[in-house]
Every structure is written in structure tokens, then in C-alpha cells.
Structure 1
Amino acid sequence: MSSDPWGRVDEAGTVYVRTAEGEKVVGSWQAGSPEEALAYFERKYEGLVVEIGLLERRVRTTDLSAKDARTAIGHIREQVDQHHAVGDLDALRHRLDQLDQVVGERQEERRVSKARQGEEARRAKEELVAEAEQLADSEQWRVAGERLRALVDTWKGLPRLDRKTDDELWHRFSHARSAFSKRRKAHFAALDAQREEARRTKEKLVAEAQELSGSTDWGPTAARYRELMASWKAAGRAQRDAEEDLWNRFRGAQDVFFQARSAAFSERDAEQRENLTRKEELAAEAEKLLPVTDLRAARAAFRSVNERWEAIGHVPRDARPRIEGRMQAVERAIEEAEEAEWRRTNPEARARAAGLTGQLQSAVDKLRSQVDAARAAGNHAKADKLARELEGRQALLDQALKGLQEFGG
């Protein structure tokens, strides 16, 4: 008979293993010595130890499911319970019990983690739905559209929830996206209609601008171009490709007109500057007639100057008041000389002036006598009153005498 701390072989070749419940038959051995029998069943025990160690490592370091782990534990436990090995089978059972407890703890941890992840996923999807519903009313079409696409990508990266909850949230999310897409489509359809209307309006503006480009009616045509530009701005924008072409044609027509007008104005300005030089020479010639000493000669000379003046034409607008003012000053001086000559040579006016002077002289002489008489009579109040009246008549007499002198009197 042969034995070790965990087993023995009896004379009949029966192999036993020692357990806490007593000896258990491992098997029968007839092929060799008892020592070889114990060594064989000890190797089977070592195989179980290795198998349990590997399973423990897989449970600790991999994502082995609880179901697969318990299946493996049950398979090893079945071998241990069949007592087909020699060794500390009770220690193996204890290790298997501990491993089964670890698997249970891991299973609970995973359940809690899964529940937590599910709750986090639910909150995340609810937040995505809330943001999508808010974006559904946005008119920031490009920004909101890009954000909604990003929300879809985020949604796809989240774990699924229970079917009912996941379907309800997805329905709200999808409805918000659809509502935004419909509004955006309607907006751009209306915008396309507006742009088409703007294109048609601008085609008409371009046609009129091109028709006006050859006009030489500078003022009214320039005013009409300003009106066309105001209409262009009010029309809004056409489609991008059409807008650039329309603008180039519209602007090109304006450029043709305004370049022609600029050239015409440049030619006109040069002519008017030349006119100004000639009129300045005539103004200087007219100013030499002053002061008027020979009225007839001055009048004739001024008429000659004025005829040449009228034949010259326009001068620059900013110089017009100054140059015309010089001629007008000479003309006024000649007119004043004519009026003075007329007054001096008019017999009727002279007679009226002489008659008025005589009447005023008689009135002055009479008042002076009345003043002297009142003072002689001691009536000073009356004398003062008559003296004031005398003073006024004397002033009128002085003016009449001065006028009479103008007639050579």
C-alpha cells in the first residue's frame, strides 16, 4: 500500500483521496505501482489547479461574461466533485466558491454600470432631442443645419435604450429635423422665387440702361440713371451667377454714358475757360470807359463791347457771377451818367424845380417875419413853434436848391 498527505492506494489498487468529509474513491489502478497511481492522479489535480488559475485570470482581466464564467466554473466543479484527482480538493472547491462570488460581484457591477450608462444615454438623448426641437424653429439655416447633422452623429454614437423609450425619443428627434428641413426648404423656395423676380426686374433695368448709354441729353439722362440705380438696389439680389452678369452689363452701360458725358464736359470746360479769358479781356476794356466823361462815346463803346460779349458764349459757372458783375458795374455807371444828364437837360424838370424853390423861399421868408413879429410882441411860445416850422421849411429849401444846381441853375 502507498500513501501521501492527500491520498493512498490499497492492496487492491483502489485509489483514495482525503477530503473534509472523509476518504473518497478516486479510481482503480492496475497498470503499475501504487506510486505511479498517486503520481497520475496528482497530475490530474495539478491540471485542475492550472485550469482554475487560468479561469481566475480570465475573470479578472477580460470581459468574460458571467454566463460563460459560471459555465466554466461548473465544468471544473464537476471534475472536482467526481474526485478524479488527488490533492486538496476542498481548497479547489473554496477557490471555485470565491471565484463564483467574484463573478457575481462583477455581474452586479456590470449591471449597475450598464444601468448607469443607460441612464446617461437616456439623458444625453433627451438633451439631443431638446436641442433639436429648439433648432427646429431657427432661421440660421446653415449653422442650424450643420448642428443638426452633428447631433445625428452624436446620437449614433450613443447606446440604445429600451425599445419603447428609444423609439419615442427618436420620433421626437426625427420630427424636429423634419420640421426644420421643411421650413428651410420653404424658405429657400421663397428666396429662389424672390431672386427670380429680382432677375426679371434687373433684366429690364439693364435693357433701359443700355438704351440710354448713347444719350447726349446729359442732365435728364444722368438723373434717370440715378433712378435706375435706386430701383436696382430696391429689387434685391438675383441668383449668384445671374447677379454678377447683370451687374456687369448694367454698370457697363452706365460707364459708356458717363465716360461720354465726362469727355463732353471736359471739352465744354476747356471751351468755357477760353470764353472766360476772352470775357475778362472785354470786361477790362469796358472798365476803361470809367469814369464817364463823354457819355455818347462811352455808350457807343460799351454797346460794341457788349455785342462781342454776347457772341462769346458761356463761362464756367463758378466764375459767372464775378465776370458778369464787372460788366454790370460798368453798365450801371453809364446808366447813372445818362440819368444825371437827363435831369440836367430836362426843361420841365428844371421849371418844376425852380417853381418849388420859389415857393419854399417865399414860405421861409414869411415864417421868418412871423417869428420876428411874435418875439417882438413877447409871444415866445408862438415864436418857438414858428421857429421849428421854419427850420423844417429851410431844410426842404436847401434840398430844392441843391437839386436846382444839378440843372446848372
Structure 2
Amino acid sequence: AAGDRPVDEGLRSRVDAAGAAVHAREDEARESRSREERENLERLTRLAGHAETLVGRPDLTLKDCDHAARDVKAALDHPGPLPSRQDRETTVERLRKVHAALTPRVQELREADDWQRWANATIQEEICRKAEALVAETDAAEAARKLRELQAQWKKVTLVPRDQSQALWLRFKAAQDAVRATTDQYFAAQAEERATNLARKEELCQKAEGLSASADWVRTAEAIKALQAEWKTIGAVPRGREKVVWDRFHAACDAFFTRRREDLSRRKQVWAANLAQKQALIAEVDALGSDGDWERAAKELRRIQAEWRAVGPVRKKHSDELWQRFQEALTRFQERYVQRDELQVAASVSEREAACVSLEALLPSGDETASREAVPAATVITQVRDAWSRWERSGPVPAESLAALTERFRRAFASVVRNYSDEVRGTEFDLESNLRKMEELCQKVEELVSEAAVTGPDQSPAAILAAKWREALAANTIAGAASAATEEARRRAAADSVRDAQAAWKRIGHVPEDLARPLAVRFQKACSKALEQRRRSP
């Protein structure tokens, strides 16, 4: 009858939900237990691996070995849940083996530690005796230094047997306190002295900073060097301030000396330029008079002396030597100036000889009659022009030298022109052409003289005056005026022709003086006569 009752759907839902919740909790519990087992297995595996690594280390310490042995023993006593029986058996067996290996190592290391502590105790006792002996040390600085060394040694042997540790430490501390009682006064005085040193060095810093911008290079450099020397006499300053105060002092000194180096570099450039100018002036003095113009040389000398005074200084090591060279150059010029006439003559002779040598060089073996070698026409013309130019611009020479030089030059020039007739043809050195031009000009002017003689022969002054009077009277008539104008035009044309001939004569090329002189005299005589006749004609 109960089975026939209708099922309450709400109740069924509640029952289903409760069952699902129970299953979920069971699944969660199983998952949590499984996770715990895995984590525990990983922990034990890491512990076993770490312990196994320690067993093989030669530098294993007692502390590390004992700690690992305790951890392994605790894991063996309470291994905790593991995923499976196989995992438990494998892990526990591995832990037992590593524990068995660690146990003798712990014992061995403990015995070594005991021996080390015993040895350290002996060393600490020796340190205590040394520290107690320092109480009698009269040199406080030496006592403080040795105490620091003993403290450093103590830190290396701190492990001693526990039953002796406290007593040894108290003994060493008492000795330290006794030594410090004697050194504290020393360190207090030292601190006061270092503070005084710091104040002195800061004062030097202020002085150096005040001098760093000075441009009085010599005196300031000496002052800063004195500050640096005084700095070296001052002792130490409080710790932590050494670098700061030194950097400040060094920066001030370096600022001045850097500026001085830069200024010296600039001055060296100026000195070098002044040195070059003065050397150039010395060279100019040595060159004065080389062109023979001694009047200009004297003016140039005054200019050079004024420029020398205007040029700035040079380096001290060059100054005296340079001044001496300048004075010597002036002396040499004065000597040349006094001997200027002799020097001019010698230069002229040398110039004329050079012209002769230049021409003779074109002749084979110096023999003007020998057959010549082939020389380019351009070279011949250039060399002849240079020789002729030298001869023309050279100054006067004594008569006894002039005749021989002239004959030498004439012979060389004539030989060159003869030997190189083809090369000089058509140039200013074409001798035949130049002589022909001279002859033609002479004939042209002489024809003017002949025409003047036909139209108006030489008359006495009275006859010329009467003719001029008649000309003046005739000029009052129309025909007379025309005749006078024609005559005037004729005279002007004749004068222009003479002047044109004179200009053409000057353009004629080079002719040896012995050949040119007769024609020149002839030409000049004809020109003078023609002009004189034109002036005297009525």
C-alpha cells in the first residue's frame, strides 16, 4: 500500500542533491589526499637527493651534515602518506641508505670540530696574553694598531669548547678595555689634530681658489707652488674628508695651471710669428743693395729698423741670438754700403761676364768658329735674349775692363748670330735685317736733307732775315698766304717724318755696337741736319 503512494518530487530532488553533494565531497577528499601524497613524495625525494649530494661533498661542514641527518631521521620516523606502497618502500629505503651514510660523517665532523675548538681555545689564550701585554705599550698608536690585528685574529677562531668560551671572551674583553683606556686619550688628541689639519687645508683651498683666476702668471705660479709645498707639510685629516678636501684644492690649482698652459700656447704662437717676422727682416737686410739701388736700400733699411721695433717679443732663448744676428746683418749692410761703388762695379762686371758666358755656351767647345751642335730655335732665342738683356741692364764698368768685355761679347754675339742664322732670322737678332733697316732709315732722312737743300740752300743770317721779311709781306696777299701755309705744312710733314724715323730706329733689333755705331752717327747727323734746315728755311 505504501508503494502505491505517489512520490513527492520535491523530496526526490532534495535526496538527489544531497547524494551529489556527498559524492562531490568524497571526490574532493580523494583529490586532496592524492595531492598531499604527491607533494609528500616530492618533498622526500628532494630531501633524499640533497642528503645524497652532501654525502659526496669534501667540504661538508658539521652544521650542514648534522642538519641533513636530523631531517632524514625525522622523515624516516614520520614519512607521511605516499601515493602507493611501492613509492613508500622505495623512498624509505633510499632515506635509510642516505641516513646510514650521513651518520658516520656527522660523527667524523663532530670529532674534527671538537679538535678545532680545542685548537682555537689555545689560540684565543695566546691572543689574550698578547692583548694583556699591550697594556704596557707606551706607543698608543702602535698599541691601537696591534689591538686591531688581535681583534681580526680573534674573529677567525671564535669557535672554542663551550665550557671555555665565556671565560676566554671575558678575559679578552678585559684586556681590550684596558688597552682602550690608554689609547682613547691618544685618539682624542689625534682627532683634534686632524680637525686642525682639515681647517688648515680648507684655508689653503680658499687661497688657491682666490688665485685660480689670476693672470699674473709668474708670481701666481710661485704663490700656488708655495701653497702646494705647505699642503705637503700638513698631516692627515679626519677619515672620509681626505678626498673631498684634496679634490677641492687640486681643482683650484689645476684651474690656474690650465689657464696658464692655454695662455702659454697662445703666446708661443705669437712668439713663433714674431720669430718668423724678425728672421724675414734679417733676410731683407742681407738682400739690401743686391739690385745696386743703394738710395732705395738706405730707405728700406730705415723701414726695416722701424718694423723690427714694432714686432713683438720672441722666446727668451731666441731673443739674444736673434738680436745679435740682426746687428750683424746691419753691420754687413753698412760695410756693403761703404763699398757700394766697388760692389756695383763688381756686380756689373759679373753681369757682363755672365752675358758673355751665356752666349759662349751656345758655341761648341767655346770656339766660335767650330761647327755647332743642333739646338732648338726657341732655346737659342731665349738664351740670346737673356744674354742681351743682362748686357743692357748692367751698370758701368771701368774702361780697362769694358773694352775687353765688349770685344768678348761682340765676338760671341756675332758668332752666335752667324752660327744660328736660320734660328734668329725674323727676330730682333736678325743682323742682316737690322743693318738693312738702319741703312734704309739713314737714306730716308738723308733724302729729306737733300730736298731741303734744293728748296732752301744754306744762307747767311742776313739773307734769312730778308727772306722772312719778304715772306711776311707776301703773306698779306691771298696768294702769299696760301704759299706760306703750304710751306708750313711741308715743314711740319718733314719734322714728323724725322720723328717717325727716330721712333722706327729705336724699334730696330740688336746690332753689335761696332757695327751699329757708324750707322747711328750717320743717322743722328742726318736727323739733326734735317731738323736744323727745316727751322732755318724761310
> If the TM-score is normalised by the length of the shorter chain, which range does it land in?
0.3 to 0.5
Larger proportion of strand: 1
TM (normalized to structure 2)?
0.34
